[in-house]
């Protein structure tokens, strides 16, 4: 499938809620300025504001430039609102299935207007808290669109701060990303939406096609299906959730099938033909699917148009800023972090990169981030979480491996919760006696696994051995004890598995 040109600074989705178009914040003090700073950050998303907060806590004089609202995609049209809607779906499931626990209730109905109001309250509370942190640490916030020029000069225009020019001893590019679109599926807000627009739905479609089976697509497919929409995922690659371990993907596919989600892989999409109330999505050789809504979830494109003349900053063919392992661009004293560079597009990776570059600016010697071991969390139902190698990748890297898998269907806490879909899989180096040595990867599918990944993530990053982890006592009954059981079985002995 081919990509349409990336939308540049499309602001139409940022103020979708009535009455918010002219409301920057009741507490945000926008400070026009023309001065020199220790550090100037272009972009106020997770990577940008984390740089400002961490640097300011170390005593640096910092300005942050944001053309919309600090918090970026993650807070306003990404991580936070998406998980709020997924939690709504979880509550809906709980009420719907309450009779299994002897709790009799009327079949639930959904008022999306109330859902959207609650979502906005969460966003507003977090936004006001972030604004308060920035003010408390004396970070200068400049409202407008910043462009970098020679000699670390940043010119700001098009915002409440007016025409401003500032200079930083160091400049950080944290300009973020936007949803990718594809040819033949132009966003119209009626039949075709991206991950931005779907977060502001006020009416639930009866049928929907999700184009793209990655993390974002699977989250929205899961949310819609749990709320009652008939969902079909169309994925061009051979499987959904590329990058996940094969066993984890299979577990999700089984769970999706039970939900009634149709997953069609290995099919490109060619366009759609709108009708009066539905549109026909054309895919594969001769496939056609009539749906009320199409959600395009094919990844995100970097927003890297903050470069003016004479910067010396280079970009890749895909539009990312070129950086080395220290997040340094090709221009002296200019760093780039977050979604605008070719590292995992995760808010928590942006946080880590922010800390990493500030430590360098302060003259410290931090260790470069090992992007192959960062934690991943996908919030569909069942949830997915992992860190380190997949089994296939470990073998390809030359390791001789041994694996162990345990399913939640035998876990007491999962049975109590009534959520037994999923598994824990641990990948370790194979010792001469056939047991496991160093842990290479941990893969979880099931209830609340995004909250359980911590000890597996530490094991992978500390290069712990199976024997070392197996010595830890896991609480009982708990979901996390399945991780302990799985690791224990790699020592050559086990309890229940």
Catalytic residue numbers read 476
Integer Cα distance of 212 and 219 in angstroms: 11
Long-range CB pairs of 149-152 (<8 Å, 24+ gap) are 149/308, 149/309, 149/310, 149/311, 150/309, 150/310, 150/311, 150/312, 151/310, 152/40, 152/333, 152/334
How does strand 383-388 pair with strand 230-235?
A: unpaired
Burial class (CB in 10 A: 0-12, 13-18, 19+), 34: exposed
Name the H helices within 97-149. Answer: 112-136
H/E stretch holding 215 reads: helix 215-226
Label residues 199-238 b or e (16+ Cβ within 10 Å = b).
Answer: bbbeeebeebbbbbbbbbbbbbbbbbbbbbbbbbbbbbee
Both structure tokens of 419? 């959520």
Beta pairing partners, 263: 233
Residues 6 or more apart whose CB falls under 8 angstroms from that of 209 comprise 231, 232, 233, 234, 281, 289, 291, 293, 294, 295
Integer Cα distance of 439 and 403 in angstroms: 10
Burial class (CB in 10 A: 0-12, 13-18, 19+), 317: exposed
Label residues 62-91 b or e (16+ Cβ within 10 Å = b).
Answer: bbbbbbbbbbbbbbbbbbbbbbbbbbbbbe
Both structure tokens of 423? 């598994």
| Displacement of CA 268 from its chain's centroid (Å) | 24
SS3 80: helix
Residues 6 or more apart whose CB falls under 8 angstroms from that of 484 comprise 469, 470, 472, 473, 474
If one counts every other C-beta atom within 10 angstroms of the C-beta of residue 308, the result is: 15
Residues 6 or more apart whose CB falls under 8 angstroms from that of 52 comprise 39, 41, 44, 62, 64, 134, 137, 139
Integer Cα distance of 106 and 108 in angstroms: 6
Please, are residues 233 and 218 in contact by the beta-carbon 8 Å criterion?
A: yes
If one counts every other C-beta atom within 10 angstroms of the C-beta of residue 108, the result is: 15
Integer Cα distance of 345 and 348 in angstroms: 9
């Amino acid at each position: 499938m081919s990509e349409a040109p990336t939308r540049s600074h499309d602001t139409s989705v940022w103020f979708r809620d009535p009455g918010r178009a002219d409301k920057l914040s009741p507490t945000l003090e926008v400070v026009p300025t023309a001065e020199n700073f220790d550090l100037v950050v272009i972009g106020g998303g997770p990577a940008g504001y984390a740089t400002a907060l961490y640097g300011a806590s170390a005593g640096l004089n910092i300005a942050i430039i944001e053309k919309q609202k600090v918090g970026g995609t993650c807070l306003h049209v990404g991580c936070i609102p998406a998980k709020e809607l997924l939690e709504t779906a979880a509550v809906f499931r709980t009420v719907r299935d309450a009779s299994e626990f002897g709790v009799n209730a009327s079949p639930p109905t959904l008022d999306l207007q109330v859902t959207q109001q609650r979502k906005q309250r969460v966003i507003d509370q977090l936004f006001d808290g972030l604004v308060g942190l920035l003010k408390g640490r004396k970070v200068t916030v400049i409202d407008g669109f910043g462009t970098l020029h020679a000699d670390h000069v940043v010119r700001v225009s098009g915002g409440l701060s007016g025409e401003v020019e500032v200079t930083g001893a160091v400049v950080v590019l944290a300009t973020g990303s936007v949803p990718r679109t594809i040819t033949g599926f132009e966003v119209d807000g009626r039949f075709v939406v991206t991950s931005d627009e779907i977060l502001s739905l006020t009416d639930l479609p009866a049928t929907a096609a999700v184009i793209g089976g990655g993390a974002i697509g699977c989250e929205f497919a899961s949310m819609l299906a749990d709320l009652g929409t008939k969902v079909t995922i169309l994925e061009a690659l051979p499987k959904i959730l590329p990058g996940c371990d094969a066993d984890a993907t299979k577990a999700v596919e089984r769970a999706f099938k039970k939900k009634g989600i149709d997953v069609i892989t290995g099919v490109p999409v060619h366009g759609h033909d709108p009708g009066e109330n539905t549109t026909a999505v054309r895919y594969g050789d001769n496939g056609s699917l009539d749906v009320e809504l199409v959600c395009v979830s094919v990844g995100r494109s970097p927003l890297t148009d903050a470069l003016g003349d004479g910067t010396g900053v280079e970009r890749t063919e895909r539009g990312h800023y070129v950086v080395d392992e220290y997040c340094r661009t090709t221009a002296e004293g200019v760093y780039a972090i977050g979604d605008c560079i070719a590292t995992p597009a995760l808010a928590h990776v942006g946080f880590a990169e922010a800390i990493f570059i500030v430590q360098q600016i302060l003259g410290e010697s931090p260790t470069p981030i090992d992007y192959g071991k960062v934690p991943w969390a996908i919030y569909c139902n069942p949830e997915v979480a992992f860190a380190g190698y997949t089994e296939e990748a470990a073998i390809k890297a030359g390791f001789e491996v041994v694996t162990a898998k345990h399913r939640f269907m035998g876990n007491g806490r999962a049975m109590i919760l009534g959520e037994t879909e999923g598994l824990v899989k641990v990948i370790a180096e194979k010792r001469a006696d056939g047991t496991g040595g160093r842990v290479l990867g941990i893969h979880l599918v099931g209830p609340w696994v995004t909250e359980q990944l911590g000890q597996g993530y530490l094991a992978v990053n500390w290069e712990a051995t199976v024997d070392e982890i197996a010595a830890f006592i896991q609480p009982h009954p708990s979901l996390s004890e399945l991780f302990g059981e799985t690791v224990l079985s790699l020592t050559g002995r086990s309890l229940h598995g």
